[in-house]
Amino acid sequence: MDDTPGRDEPGAAFVAPAPPAAPGSAADAAEATPGEEVAALRQRLHQADLAMRETECRLCRMDHERGYLRAMLASARHLANTAQSELARMATELATARAAAEADAEAVRAAAEAEKAALRKAAEAEAETIRAATEVEKAVLRDAAEAEKAVLRRAFEAEVATLRATAAADAAAIRAAAEAEKAALHRAAETHLAAVQAGAMAELEAVRAAAAAREEAIRRSTSWRITRPLREVRVLARRIWR
């Protein structure tokens, strides 16, 4: 049997897990996007998790090895000194491994906190940038709306002025047509009045002529009735006189 301690045998040398890879240079960090930084952080967390699991496996293996050594010590008391030294060495390695695991966990925790703070700052900066861009876009939209309102106001005023001019022209045309119709009605009324006056004058002349003729006829009839008895009296007086 080989006396060299192996990996799965008691007394195997303990290898501490490798620490997580150091972050890149400032230029790489500056060139990396937030997505790449998050992916790198996840990779580091995954590596830390693997290291902790490997440490736990090694601790379990060491516990198993310690039980195996106890069995060896119980079955082979003549190797007590060797077993005690091996146990001391294993205890030292266990303490070293635990200290290294705690240091790795603390480093991973600190890196995660730093990465979280960096991501929070980046998110706040991005939110501030988006807010500033939103404010600028709102200002641009507000200016565009004001310009559109001014254009619409000018167009409305021009339309109102056009409608007023059209209304004034229509009113002037209607007024002129009304004046012309009024003048035509006035002339027609004057013409009708003149015709009525002429008819009335003609009818009056006719009435006057008829009255004069009747008066002449009455005068002649009255004169005849008066002169006839006088003639008879004259004839009778002549007869008597003779």
Closest CA to 93 of 152, 15, 196, 173: 15
Does the residue 202 lie in any domain? no
What does the alpha-carbon distance between residue 78 and residue 13 come to, in Å, rounded to a whole number? 23
Does the residue 210 lie in any domain? no
Does the residue 114 lie in any domain? yes
Share of the chain above pLDDT 90, in %: 19
* Total count of domains within the chain: 1
Residue 8 has pLDDT above 90, yes or no: no
Tokens read off for 236: 């009778």
Does the residue 177 lie in any domain? no
Does the residue 197 lie in any domain? no
**50-89: per-residue pLDDT in tens?**
988 898 888 888 888 888 777 766 676 766 667 577 778 8
DSSP 1: -
**129-185: per-residue pLDDT in tens?**
999 999 999 999 999 999 999 999 999 999 999 999 998 898 899 889 989 888 888
Contacts of residue 52, Cβ cutoff 8 Å, sequence gap at least 6: 17, 101, 104, 105
DSSP string, 93-122: HHHHHHHHHHHHHHHHHHHHHHHHHHHHHH
Pair 112, 40: CB distance under 8 Å = no
Pair 118, 29: CB distance under 8 Å = no
Does the residue 88 lie in any domain? yes
Pair 89, 5: CB distance under 8 Å = no
Closest CA to 97 of 60, 69, 130: 60
Does the residue 130 lie in any domain? yes
Does the residue 2 lie in any domain? no
**186-234: per-residue pLDDT in tens?**
888 888 888 888 888 888 888 888 878 877 777 776 666 666 666 676 6
Its domain, for residue 46, covers: 26-138
What does the alpha-carbon distance between residue 37 and residue 126 come to, in Å, rounded to a whole number? 15
Burial of 90 (0-12, 13-18, 19+ CB in 10 A): buried
What does the alpha-carbon distance between residue 152 and residue 47 come to, in Å, rounded to a whole number? 65
pTM of the model: 0.30
DSSP 20: P
